[in-house]
Chains A and B, each alone.
Chain A
Amino acid sequence: MASGFEPYILGFLCNWCSYAGADLAGTSRIQYSPNLRIIRVMCSGRVDPRFILTALKNGADGVLIAGCHPPSDCHYLTGNLKARRRYYLLLKLLDQLGIERERVRLEWISASEADKFARVVNEFTEQIRALGPTPLRAS
């Protein structure tokens, strides 16, 4: 493993729950790992699998998708359920394409769960650090 490897993690956070949760983590001054770069989307159901594949292709070491808790927190009723189905199908695709499924993670984080947000980011960063750089990054 190359020393000094800092994971580059992209996060798609839903506007209504998870982004608010991340915001709360910030305003509450909770310390968490700085490896996550956040993109705010209106719903986890908006995250086209193409976005995730493109992120991986462009060298992201990990991709986090976070949305509202099932069963009924989703602002658009079923966006999170769709995200969940796509996520599991995408994992199977990644297995076949030789990309560790641990590089893509789906989490449910509500607007009040700043602690959970920080814990997920820390955990995920450490998990990716242990996995090492993505095999897709141009060396």
Chain B
Amino acid sequence: MSQTKLKLAIGLGATCSGCDMAIVDLAEKLTDLLKAFEIVFWPTASDQKLEELQQLPDGSIDLCLYHGSIANEENKEIARLLRKKAKTVIAFGACACHGGVPGLANLTTTKQLLATVYKETPSSDNPDAKEPSPETTVSDYSLHLPRKFDTVQCLHDYVDVDYFLPGCPPETALVDKAVEAILEGKLPQKGATLAPNRILCDECQRKRQEKKIPKIHRISNTIPDQEKCFLDQGIICLGPATRMGCGAKCINVNMPCRGCMGPTSKAIDQGAKMIASLGSVLGLEGEEQMSEEQVKTLIDEIEDPVGTFYMFTLPSSILNRKALKR
């Protein structure tokens, strides 16, 4: 092929690299992708070094997919560098779009996090009470680790993002569609999320009825019915507050939605939306006559609202972290 290839960079932040799998999962489409793109930076799969990326002229990369949230100095630097070098940046996956699971670190501080991991767990074996520190000297060599931030944030909190492709990891069909749109030059308006802007319940095939949930069941303690809506069965499912586009994969294997696609553009805050919709469908027989205490008992069955409703979106929610005491 004589045509010059477009340049593609794939950057990593605080990520589990499951998003790389979503790219590999393109399977035979991946060969089409590689016909059109030359990979100039992809730490997971190719051999270029950071220095090579730094030497590229600004704006010379055609497309950058960035996955992972911004949790430390290094994530921030790489995100900024890629933004400078790339014409189009896509926040790829739940972490880059909404903060993702690493964002739950916002319920604590770095100091507490390190103490828990290195000292306080029952299995910790650390007699010298050592912790990773940004700077260490080992036999005259000074070694550096990037400093972790107290607050994990999304990619768009640090750099200008052109498109968002949510999901944990992004659904292959959506990635495929996005790649096609890029190759054909048919990308939507800047700032768009490359997934439908409707809620998951719209594509869910389960049978629904008029809801009144008298008791909450946890998925770990129940075998859910295959046909009926999870919420009808008293199992918390984030469908009403979550964007569709994943093909309801979890639902189809009898697991309720945990919300990895994030909220729709109108819901904004996934947790608030979920509280609102649960408030509408929870309900007890004769609740009108009940005391405040009795109503509270039903609500108390929902343990860990933050972990349940913001599993993937705490850093992009309205109150993006646990409040720090003055």
B-binding residues in A (CB < 8 A): 48-50, 53-54, 56-57, 70-72, 81-86, 88-90, 92-93, 96-99, 135-136, 139
Map CB proximity to A onto B281-324 as digits: 1 under 8 Å, 0 otherwise: 01100011100100110111010111101000000011101111
B302 touches A85 (CB 8 A): no
Contact of B322 (CB < 8 Å), options: A72, A86, A98: A98
Partner of A92 from the list B299, B317, B322, B324 (CB cut-off 8 Å) is: B299
B302 x A48 contact (CB < 8 A):
no
Q: Check B271–A86 contact: CB distance below 8 A.
A: no
Q: Check if A49 sits within 8 Å of B289, measured CB to CB.
A: no
| Apart from A48-B273, A86-B276, A88-B300: 5 A-B pairs, beta carbons within 8 A | A57-B318, A72-B288, A86-B279, A93-B305, A98-B322
B261-284 near A? 1/0 per residue, CB < 8 Å: 000000011011101101110110
Complex alpha-carbon distance, A84 and B283, angstroms: 11
Measured as residues with beta carbon below 8 angstroms from the partner, the interface class of chain B is 35 or more
Nearest B residue to A55 via CB reads: B318
Known A48-B272, A136-B323: A71·B288 in contact at CB below 8 Å: yes
Is the C-beta of B326 less than 8 angstroms from some C-beta in chain A?
yes
Chief secondary structure at chain A's binding surface: helix
- Interface presence of B325 (CB below 8 A): yes
Whether B278 lies near A70 (C-beta < 8 A) is no
**Whole-angstrom distance from the CB of B315 to the nearest CB of chain A?**
13
A50-B309 in contact given A71-B289, A135-B325, A139-B326 (Cβ < 8 Å): no
Would A89 and B269 count as touching, CB distance under 8 A? no
Q: Which residues of A contact B305 (CB under 8 A)?
A: 89, 92-93, 96
Can you list 17 contacts pairing A with B, beta carbon distance less than 8 Å? A50-B272, A53-B269, A53-B317, A53-B319, A54-B318, A85-B299, A86-B279, A88-B299, A89-B299, A89-B302, A89-B305, A90-B275, A92-B299, A92-B302, A93-B271, A96-B322, A98-B323
Q: Report the bound CA distance from A92 to B289 in whole Å.
A: 23
Quick check: B279 and A83 within 8 Å, CB to CB? yes
Q: What are the 9 tightest A-B residue pairs by CB atom distance, in nearest-first order? A: A71-B288, A86-B279, A50-B272, A98-B323, A88-B299, A135-B323, A49-B272, A98-B322, A53-B318
Instruction: Determine if B107 is an interface residue (Cβ-Cβ < 8 Å).
Output: yes
Residues of B within 8 A of A85 (CB): 278-279, 282-283, 295, 298-299
- The closest CB in chain B to the CB of A87 belongs to B279
Max chain A Cβ within 10 angstroms of own Cβ: one of B279, B280, B295, B319: B279
Residues of chain B within 8 A (CB-CB) of A89 are: 275, 278-279, 299, 302, 305
- Complex: chain B residue closest to A77, CB-CB: B288
Bound: A32/B121 CA distance, A: 52
Alpha-carbon gap, A88 to B296, bound state (A): 6
Tell me the minimal C-beta distance from B111 to chain A in angstroms: 15
A99 near B318: Cβ-Cβ < 8 Å: no
Contacts of B324 in A (CB 8 A): 98, 135
Which of A56, A71, A88, A92 contacts B319 (CB under 8 A)?
Answer: A56
Q: How far is the CB of B326 from chain A (nearest CB, A)?
A: 6
Q: In this complex, what residue of A is CB-closest to B277?
A: A86
Q: Tell me how far the C-beta of B324 lies from the nearest C-beta in chain A, rounded to whole angstroms.
A: 7
Contacts of B300 in A (CB 8 A): 88, 92
Q: Are A96 and B304 in contact (CB under 8 A)?
A: yes
A82 to B277, CA, bound (A): 9
Kindly name the residue among B306, B321, B323 whose own CB sees the greatest number of chain A CB atoms within 10 A.
B323
Complex CA gap A48/B275 in Å reads 9
Closest CB in chain A relative to B282 CB, distance in Å: 5
Q: Which of B271, B273, B309 has the largest count of A CB atoms less than 10 A from its CB?
A: B271
Contacts of B299 in A (CB 8 A): 85, 88-89, 92
Give bound CA distance, A93 to B275, whole Å.
9
Taking CB as reference atom, which chain B residue is nearest A51?
A: B272
Q: Across the interface, which residues of B come within 8 angstroms of A139, CB to CB? A: 326
**Complex Cα spacing A136 to B278, Å:** 26
Residues B276 and A48 in contact, CB atoms below 8 Å apart: yes
